[in-house]
Amino acid sequence: MPAHGRPTRDELAAAADRTLPTLLAPGLRVLFCGINPGLYSAWTGHHFARPGNRFWPALHRSGFTPRQLAPAEQEELLALGLGLTNVVERASATAAELSAEELHAGGRRLVDDVVTYEPQWLAVLGVTAYRTAFDRPRATYGEQPERLGRTRVWVLPNPSGLNAHVTPPQLAAAFGELRLAVEG
């Protein structure tokens, strides 16, 4: 855990290739799956930690959490039946640095985790990563026709601030559609 508020350029560079712990337990309602950790998240040790990432606000505004959690409070998700993981475990500055083979390998590992832990839903945060990792080139947002074992799959927009064409209200609405399906 960093001792100060903002990382230096060297600290961020040193976070490259680090991994974050998966937040996973048997029988979750939803396992949220990012593409891979960014350097800022790897530096902090918390998922979706970069200021400007819209995951935590969207999770709250959609009704999944009773209040907006901070990344350092990620462990509280388990009590709500929610978990966190990534397609590719290693951190990078951008998802564009990931190879197709890394995404394919991550997809295979993710299938193993999902079949073992059996969350009701897997929510992949990024349609392009989902298409590559699962060899589904025509996949769109929303529920997918395929299941991973007994787990249903939903694709959400990437909440990164770099995905600016999806506005915060649109992101919260997309998360809300998933929440309704989960409760439904």
Looking at residue 2, its pLDDT comes to: 59
**Positive or negative torsion for Cα 101, 111, 60, 131:** positive
Find the DSSP H helices in 18-99.
39-44, 55-61
CA distances from 20 to 15, 51, 110 (A): 11, 17, 14
Mean model confidence pLDDT for the chain: 95
Has residue 152 got a pLDDT over 60? yes
Looking at residue 52, its pLDDT comes to: 87
Extended beta strands in 37-176, E state: 82-86, 121-125, 142-148, 151-156
pTM of the model: 0.95
Are 144 and 153 in contact by the 8 Å Cβ rule? The answer is yes
Q: How confident is the model at residue 133 (pLDDT cuts 50, 70, 90)?
A: very high
Average pLDDT for residues 46-61, to the nearest whole number? 96
- Each residue's pLDDT tens digit, 72-126: 999 999 999 999 999 999 999 998 999 999 999 999 999 999 999 999 999 999 9
Looking at beta carbons, which pairs linking 6-14 to residues 24 or more positions away fall under 8 Å? 7/39, 7/40, 7/43, 11/43, 12/39, 12/40, 12/43, 12/93, 13/39, 14/43
